[in-house]
Amino acid sequence: MRIALIGQAAFGADVLKGLLTHDHEIVGVFCPPDRGGRPDPLKTAAQEAGLPVFQPARMKDPEAYEQMKSLAADLGVLAFVTDIVPERVFNAPKFGSICYHPSILPKYRGASAINWAVINGENKTGLTVFWVDAGIDTGDILLQKEVEVGPNETTGEVYFNKLYPLGVEAMVEAVNLVAQGQAPRIPQDHSRATYDPPCDEKVAGLDWSKPGRQVFNFIRGCDPQPGATTSFRGEKVKLYNTSFLEEAHAHAPGEILEITEKGVKVAVNGGAVLITRFRTKELGKVKAPEFIQARQPRAGERFG
């Protein structure tokens, strides 16, 4: 089966490598244009395999469609795509295109599915490989796989330890099913769909007044990106690597309870959080001892 791969970064590269081990014919690879520094890992992997590489400025550009059409591909495979791929491009291959998404669709459509699953305190999430259509993550389901979300896991841990490796395997499995003529097309129940905005700086502000567990989940859901944002003495501070502590106190949320060797213990409603990594514009991302030495926080001071 002739495959055209659209993707980027390490995930795209690993999907390509996985497909090559199954003797699929990769007729072309699309990745973003070079933007200085090292080339995209997908480009490097494709060049090492001797494959044609296409780098249109945007997938909406006419040249992208002409390039895709010229490949006469049987299937398009979207592996970590952040650009908008127009309908005529993803429908150019004989069987259309399939795409990886890190949630159990139709829940958590959108660009930040893992962040919001962790922020909302989900104990399970997963991935979906679906047939691409004109909507945002709305296409028919080809396959799905579920993973547990540990009570202390961050978005980064869920992705890199679970959904990344499982996603690479799932993409290869999905392509094999298509090649064997056994790939289902299961319509999504759109009445159960949820969609969240990108988890970026616009939504990263931490609300200390919320229940403690929600504060904790928000911090780990924004870890490593965009980082839960608060302030300390008027300076913007991002918080990472946090644990929740079940303890009773009568302090206001956001108040520093204790400075320890491990980190800064801060009051939340119904408990406390121990923060062990911080980021400021001046310091960069540092461990708690460096933040404590530089800023000298004291018990009784408040974040936010």
Provide mean pLDDT across the span 48-61.
97
Domains 2-192 and 201-295 share a fold: no
Rounded Cα gap, residues 142 and 186, in angstroms:
7
The string of pLDDT tens digits covering residues 221-243 is 999 999 999 999 999 999 999 99
What pLDDT, on a 0 to 100 scale, did the predictor assign at position 38?
Answer: 87
What percent of the chain has a predicted confidence (pLDDT) above 70? 100
Cβ proximity of 240 and 285 under 8 Å: yes
- What CATH superfamily is the domain 201-295? Formyl transferase, C-terminal domain (3.10.25.10)
Domain residue limits, the chain: 2-192, 201-295
Q: What is the CATH number of domain 2-192?
A: 3.40.50.170
State how far the alpha carbon of 264 is from the alpha carbons of 167, 212, 295, in Å.
Answer: 36, 16, 12
Asked whether residue 68 carries a pLDDT value surpassing 90, the answer given is yes
Provide mean pLDDT across the span 144-163.
98
Provide mean pLDDT across the span 135-144.
97
* Residues 6 or more apart whose Cβ sits within 8 Å of residue 226: 199, 200, 201, 204, 238
Which long-range CB contacts under 8 A does 47-54 form with residues at least 24 apart?
49/16, 49/20, 51/26, 52/27, 52/28, 53/28, 53/29, 54/28, 54/29, 54/30
What percent of the chain has a predicted confidence (pLDDT) above 90? 98
What pLDDT, on a 0 to 100 scale, did the predictor assign at position 35?
Answer: 87
Dihedral Cα 169, 171, 172, 176, nearest 10 deg? 130
The string of pLDDT tens digits covering residues 247-259 is 999 999 999 999 9
Helix (H, G, I), strand (E, B) or coil at 295: helix
Cβ proximity of 184 and 141 under 8 Å: yes
Mean pLDDT of the chain: 97
Asked whether residue 284 carries a pLDDT value surpassing 90, the answer given is yes
Asked whether residue 148 carries a pLDDT value surpassing 90, the answer given is yes
What pLDDT, on a 0 to 100 scale, did the predictor assign at position 37?
Answer: 82
The tokens for 189 are 């129940």
What pLDDT, on a 0 to 100 scale, did the predictor assign at position 160?
Answer: 98
pLDDT band with cut points at 50, 70 and 90 for residue 178: very high
